[in-house]
């Protein structure tokens, strides 16, 4: 008998990537039948369809914490999404697990799963809880969290600390060689500075690098993820000490490992990857992130590894080069003895155990 798992999550890459990590692991086990429910046009559609598992689209309405005319319109989209999700759920037996990684697309699916007597597990990636998962928690049978700090937002009796589902390379000590623009990272003599503003890039972080570029080039070999919208602008600065790209994918973990200094946003996935790698780094949290969640994510790394937090408000008055020097001085200190849990391993174990109870 096939073990059916329906994944749901979307609206942003931060909700899709944890599910994608689990899906890639589960696909190697032929006893599982995997499905994904998502929006008709969301980022999850593009990402999940590449995996080859069935993608089941529904109508979605965005959840907002503020008053807006669009809330009225989206209320009916959510109702339609619940109805469509119920029709999907009727195709599966009661011995089907729905696993949600959050985002507004997940709410109608979780409600429909509960109405059709399916079991629901949800995973919260951030240290602060999104509205979708807060709503979904009322219908969930089990809630898994990436940070212990999140526990206070959910019912204690059904909340479990799992950690964040990360790729295997976060837990091995290998330093694979990587070519950047035809240059082997292993052949670079200068310390490497890796700057990433996330998949879409960050104007603020890009300008911070640009305004200090000459001094930074004298000290580092710089690898800079600039985002698609800034790719052409930063190509003009490329030389033997600086390389920019719109986006890094499979190169990200090797770059984290190889870099002496990492400067990044503080999305949950990035923070957890750097925690797993025990990499002290500099975080510049996105100020407009929901409930300032990136700042609280970065605080977890600050408490556990001594990472630095540079807020957007501090940047205009920051002597960036002196700030980097202060950070580098701390790299000589011993890193606290901290081991980030293998969230992928724990969640896979929980998914297996569901079908054996």
Let me know whether 129 and 38 are in one domain.
yes
Mean pLDDT of all residues belonging to the chain: 91
Q: What percent of the residues of the chain are helix, what percent strand, and what percent coil, each to the nearest 5?
A: 45, 20, 40
Let me know whether 124 and 182 are in one domain.
no
Which residue has better confidence, 354 or 78?
354
User: Residue 272: inside a domain, yes or no?
Assistant: yes
Let me know whether 184 and 231 are in one domain.
yes
Range of the domain at 265: 170-330
CATH code of the domain covering residue 295: 3.40.50.2000
pLDDT tens readout for residues 311-348: 999 999 999 999 999 999 999 888 878 888 889 999 99
Let me know whether 194 and 72 are in one domain.
no
Let me know whether 110 and 203 are in one domain.
no
Let me know whether 158 and 246 are in one domain.
no
pLDDT tens readout for residues 167-224: 889 988 777 778 887 888 888 999 999 999 987 789 999 999 999 999 999 999 999 9
The CA distance from 58 to 84, in Å, is 6
| Sequence-separated (6 or more) residues with CB below 8 Å from residue 294 | 265, 266, 267, 283, 285, 286
Let me know whether 175 and 161 are in one domain.
no
Let me know whether 21 and 151 are in one domain.
yes
Pick from 140, 111, 105, 144: nearest CA to 125:
144
Distances (CA, A) of 22 to 168, 179, 193, 322, 351: 11, 28, 31, 41, 10
The CA distance from 102 to 11, in Å, is 9
Let me know whether 44 and 13 are in one domain.
yes
Q: How many separate domains does the chain show? A: 2
């Amino acid at each position: 008998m096939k073990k059916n798992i329906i994944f749901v999550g979307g609206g942003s890459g931060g909700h899709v990537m944890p599910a994608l990590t689990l899906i890639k692991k589960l696909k190697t086990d032929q006893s599982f039948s995997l499905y994904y429910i998502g929006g008709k046009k969301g980022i999850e559609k593009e990402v999940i369809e590449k995996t080859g598992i069935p993608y089941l689209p529904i109508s979605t309405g965005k959840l907002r914490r503020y008053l807006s005319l669009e809330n009225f319109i989206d209320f009916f989209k959510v109702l339609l999404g619940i109805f469509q999700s119920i029709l999907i759920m009727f195709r599966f037996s009661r011995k089907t697990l729905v696993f949600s990684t959050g985002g507004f697309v997940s709410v109608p699916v979780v409600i429909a799963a509960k109405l059709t007597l399916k079991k629901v597990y949800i995973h919260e990636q951030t240290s602060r809880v999104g509205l979708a998962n807060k709503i979904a928690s009322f219908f969930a049978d089990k809630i898994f969290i990436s940070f212990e700090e999140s526990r206070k937002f959910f019912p204690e009796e059904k909340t479990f600390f799992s950690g964040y589902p990360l790729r295997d390379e976060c837990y091995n000590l290998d330093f694979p060689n990587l070519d950047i623009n035809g240059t082997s990272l292993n052949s670079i003599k200068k310390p490497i500075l890796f700057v990433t503003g996330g998949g879409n890039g960050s104007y603020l972080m890009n300008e911070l690098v640009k305004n200090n570029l000459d001094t930074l080039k004298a000290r580092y070999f710089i690898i800079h993820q600039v985002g698609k919208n800034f790719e052409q602008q930063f190509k003009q600065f490329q030389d033997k000490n600086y390389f920019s790209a719109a986006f890094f994918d499979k190169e990200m973990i090797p770059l984290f490992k190889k870099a002496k200094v990492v400067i990044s946003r503080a999305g949950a996935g990035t923070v957890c990857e750097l925690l797993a790698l025990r990499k002290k780094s500099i975080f510049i949290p996105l100020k407009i992130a929901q409930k300032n969640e990136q700042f609280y994510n970065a605080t977890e790394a600050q408490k556990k590894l001594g990472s630095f937090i540079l807020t957007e408000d501090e940047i205009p008055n920051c002597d960036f080069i002196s700030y980097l020097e202060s950070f580098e001085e701390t790299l000589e200190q011993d890193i606290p003895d901290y081991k980030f849990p293998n969230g992928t391993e724990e969640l896979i174990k929980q998914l297996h155990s569901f079908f054996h109870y």
